[in-house]
Structure 1
Amino acid sequence: MKPSVQRILLVVLSLFGLVTGVWAYFFPRHWYDTFPGMGLSWLPQLGPFNEHFATDTGAMFMGLVTLSIAAFIWVANTTLVRVVGAAWTVFNLLHWIFHMRMLHMYEPRDQILNAITLSAILVVSALLLLPTRRATQADTNAVSQAGTAT
């Protein structure tokens, strides 16, 4: 996989994690009542509000975002990129398993949306585990220029 594709995947994960993390940490009740937004509400069906759970969820997402930003900056460090991909994949796989077991708690529209969104983010994170394509001279120059840009 090319570093440019890895960076795109890291941006997707970072944006997803940043929105969810900030929302859950700083506005836990609102996050619980209205997640994922757009007039939908997926959390109350799973149990009562718990501020500790909500803020810990937000903190965890922001921690993953921090790792993702580091991997974006140092994308040439393939070990770092793959470890970040592994961290996101472990979380997303376990999260996916839990929610697939709980789909019966939702209306059909929300069942479909849960399955699609959770599967998509799992695939995005798992793609970071793919081997890195050997860099060409053009790739090396682009990474060097990006690292020295001011």
Structure 2
Amino acid sequence: MTLRSKRFAAAVLAFLAAVLGVWAGGFPLSFYTDFPIGGWQWVSLLGPYNEHLVRDFGATMLALLVFTVWAWRTPTAEKLRITGWAWLLFSAVHFLWHLLHLDVFTTFHKIGNVVALALILLPAVLLVLPGRKAEIRGQS
């Protein structure tokens, strides 16, 4: 993995964190009823509305956004790898929970959930992968 491709993965994660963080943190009821798009109700099918829980998810995304933008703006192999581990930890736990609670969805939405959550795991994994030898030695 090159530093450029790792920066791209970080940018993707930062974008997702910004969208999810602002939506869930600033508009929790809308996030609950409308995520990922109006009518699909991926969050509301999983239990009763809890404003605190939704806002906490949004705050988590915003915290990851700050961390990810910092690593993206001043990239080193170490910063990007640590950012990847933070995202991977969050995403793996989140992915596993949703994998165990797919029974409320239709087949189409089960597939959508798994794909959407995997698309967050993928850039996190890319950040964790070792870089080229020159980048590891700090000669990027």
TM-score category of the 2 structures, normalised to the smaller one: over 0.9
Q: CA deviation at 1:38?
A: 5.1
- Residue correspondences, number: 137
Counterpart-to-counterpart distance in 2, 1:39 and 1:123: 27
Task: Report runs of 4+ in structure 1 exceeding 4 Å deviation.
Answer: none
Q: CA deviation at 1:134?
A: 3.2
Q: State the SS of the aligned residue for 2:80.
A: helix
Counterpart-to-counterpart distance in 1, 2:78 and 2:9: 16
Which structure has the bigger radius of gyration?
A: 1
Structure 1 length-normalised TM: 0.86
Counterpart-to-counterpart distance in 2, 1:28 and 1:106: 21
Structure 2 length-normalised TM: 0.92
What is the RMSD computed on CA atoms of the aligned residues?
Answer: 1.5
Aligned to 2:13: 13
Q: CA deviation at 1:135?
A: 4.0
- Uncovered stretches (5+) of structure 2, i.e. residues with no partner: none
2:126 paired with 1:127:
yes
Q: State the SS of the aligned residue for 1:37.
A: coil
Higher RCO, 1 vs 2 (CA within 8 Å, ≥6 residues apart)? 2
Contact 1:2 1:135 in 2 (8 A): no
Within a 5 Å distance, the mapping from 1:1-150 to structure 2 comes to 1-37=1-37, 39-75=39-75, 77-135=76-134
Contact 2:3 2:77 in 1 (8 A): no
Once the two structures are aligned, what percentage of the paired residues are identical?
34
- Uncovered stretches (5+) of structure 1, i.e. residues with no partner: 144-150
